């Protein structure tokens, strides 16, 4: 590699770590004879070189499926089996409606101060598990959750439970209600109301809308985009 695209070495420089586009690192140093050597270095090697303390996640919640560190910091995925949840919905008249409704299995990803939710049908979340749109309002097509003006904790093994409680306790609005149900394509709240009033024990899996992404693809895309 020629150094015409890089900042030239100054006279008193003996070595430098250069940060390149695309999360690449280049180590540059001057040999005793004055020649300059370039060497690509992996992100893992850079972290290891600058970290003097071992990484300890602390005790992980039992339902953690994956954990890692990205550009925004810590990220992790927790899963919830099919079960009933209690949600509140804001009505047009200003009142609140609370429903206890069944949900399919859910995957909840926290990364920095961003959180995502997807549904899945498999008994356990695996790399090739197909993901589906979570059947709830206030979640966009990528699974990103809109928390409104709520103060959101930074994702970690210690705060993921708090973030989940904040999500389930926050009232849902009429935003992003479409594309979550085959039977009620315009407004998922119609399906949720039906399930609650009929006291259904399980969410109908054939009603879920596929995202054409596996768990591995979606998680990797979400983390790498940060």
What is the tens place of the pLDDT at every residue in 3-32? Answer: 446 667 666 666 776 766 556 677 777 766
Under a CB-based contact definition with an 8 Å cutoff, are residues 111 and 155 in contact?
yes
Confidence of residue 37 (pLDDT cuts 50, 70, 90): confident
pLDDT at 195 (0 to 100)? 98
Q: Tens digits of per-residue pLDDT, 181-225? A: 999 999 999 999 999 999 999 999 999 999 999 999 999 999 988
Q: What is the rounded average pLDDT of the residues 71-98?
A: 90
Euclidean distance between CA atoms 139 and 172, whole angstroms: 10
Percent of the chain with pLDDT over 70: 80
Q: What is the rounded average pLDDT of the residues 89-109?
A: 91
Q: Which residue has the higher pLDDT, 204 or 41?
A: 204
Domain residue extents for the chain: 1-54, 64-224
Q: Tens digits of per-residue pLDDT, 141-171? A: 999 999 988 789 999 988 999 999 999 999 9
Euclidean distance between CA atoms 203 and 208, whole angstroms: 9
What is the Cα gyration radius of the chain? 23
pLDDT at 95 (0 to 100)? 85
Is the pLDDT at 100 greater than 60? The verdict is yes
pLDDT at 26 (0 to 100)? 73
Is the pLDDT at 94 greater than 90? The verdict is no
Under a CB-based contact definition with an 8 Å cutoff, are residues 209 and 181 in contact?
yes
Compute CA distances 207 → 35, 85, 145, 180, whole Å.
Answer: 66, 18, 21, 8
pLDDT at 226 (0 to 100)? 64
Retrieve residue 61's tokens. 């919640």
Euclidean distance between CA atoms 186 and 181, whole angstroms: 8
Under a CB-based contact definition with an 8 Å cutoff, are residues 136 and 225 in contact?
no
Lowest mean pLDDT among 31-40, 59-68, 110-119, 175-184: 31-40
Q: Is 196 helix (H, G, I), strand (E, B) or coil?
A: helix
């Amino acid at each position: 590699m020629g150094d015409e695209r890089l900042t030239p070495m100054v006279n008193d420089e003996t070595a430098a770590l250069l940060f390149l586009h695309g999360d690449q690192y280049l180590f540059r140093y001057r040999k005793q004879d004055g020649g300059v050597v370039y060497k690509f270095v992996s992100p893992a090697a850079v972290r290891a070189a600058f970290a003097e303390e071992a990484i300890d996640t602390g005790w992980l919640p039992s339902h953690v499926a994956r954990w890692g560190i990205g550009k925004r910091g810590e990220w992790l995925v927790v899963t919830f089996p099919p079960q009933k949840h209690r949600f509140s919905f804001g009505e047009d008249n200003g009142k609140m409606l609370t429903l206890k409704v069944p949900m399919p299995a859910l995957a909840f990803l926290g990364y920095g101060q961003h959180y995502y939710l997807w549904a899945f049908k498999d008994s356990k979340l695996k790399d090739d598990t197909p993901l589906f749109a979570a059947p709830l309002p206030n979640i966009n097509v990528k699974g990103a959750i809109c928390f409104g003006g709520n103060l959101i904790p930074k994702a970690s093994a210690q705060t993921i439970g708090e973030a989940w409680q904040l999500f389930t306790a926050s009232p849902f609005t009429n935003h992003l209600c479409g594309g979550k149900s085959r039977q009620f394509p315009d407004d998922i709240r119609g399906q949720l109301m039906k399930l609650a009033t009929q006291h259904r024990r399980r969410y109908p899996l054939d009603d879920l809308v596929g995202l054409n992404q596996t768990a591995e693809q979606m998680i990797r895309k979400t983390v790498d985009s940060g």
